[in-house]
Amino acid sequence: MSKAMSLVGIIILGVLTLAVVNIVTSYSSGNDLDYYLLNETTKAAMIDSVDLGYYRVSGGIIRCDREKFLESFVRRFAESATADTDYKIRILDFNETPPKVSIQVGSGTIATFAGEQFDIVNRIDAILEVKYDENRLLGEVN
Tell me, what's the pLDDT at 141? 46
| pTM strictly above 0.75 | no
CA angle at 100 for the pair 28 and 68, rounded to the nearest 5° = 90
Q: Along the chain (142 residues), what's the average pLDDT of each consecutive run of 10 residues?
A: 85 88 70 86 91 82 90 92 83 90 83 69 86 55 43
What is residue 85's DSSP assignment?
S
The span from the CA of 83 to the CA of 77, in Å, is 11
Name the DSSP letter for residue 50: B
Residue-level pLDDT at 96: 87
How many angstroms separate the CA atoms of 28 and 31, rounded? 5
